[in-house]
């Protein structure tokens, strides 16, 4: 939103607010219209977050499970490992 003037941003914000349903407006007014930022960047979905080594959860769990002996592996074990990874 850097390429818009503060007036343009406020116009767009008001248009978004006015187009919302009453329930959504009520939620925003409860938190404060001035604090509300409809243009903020979305948070990373949990499935594409990366750790310090720049690997995703899926890559980490795959790497871990390939190192597990066949006798120790089960669906319950894999599910538990995935839950711990998240």
55 and 73 housed in the same domain: yes
53 and 35 housed in the same domain: no
Tokens 């938190």 map to which residue? 31
Domains identified in the chain, total number: 2
Domain that holds residue 8: 1-40
What's the CA gap between 6 and 28, in Å, rounded?
Answer: 20
34 and 13 housed in the same domain: yes
Q: pLDDT exceeding 70 applies to what percent of the chain? A: 88
Helices (H), 20-74: 22-31, 57-66
Residue 56: is its pLDDT beyond 90? no
For residue 46, name the pLDDT band (cuts at 50, 70, 90): low
36 and 61 housed in the same domain: no
34 and 1 housed in the same domain: yes
Number of H helices, E strands in the chain: 4, 0
In the DSSP assignment, the letter for residue 1 is: -
9 and 33 housed in the same domain: yes
1 and 19 housed in the same domain: yes
Length of the chain: 86
* 3-44 confidence digits (pLDDT tens): 888 899 999 999 999 999 999 999 999 999 999 998 888 776
Query: What pTM value is reported for the model?
Result: 0.47
């Amino acid at each position: 939103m850097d390429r818009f003037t503060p007036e343009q941003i406020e116009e767009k914000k008001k248009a978004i607010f006015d187009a919302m349903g009453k329930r959504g407006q009520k939620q925003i007014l409860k938190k404060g219209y001035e604090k509300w930022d409809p243009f903020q960047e979305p948070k990373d979905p949990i499935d594409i977050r990366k750790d310090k080594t720049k690997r995703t959860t899926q890559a980490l769990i795959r790497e871990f499970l390939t190192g597990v002996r066949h006798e120790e592996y089960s669906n319950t074990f894999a599910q538990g490992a995935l839950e711990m990874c998240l």
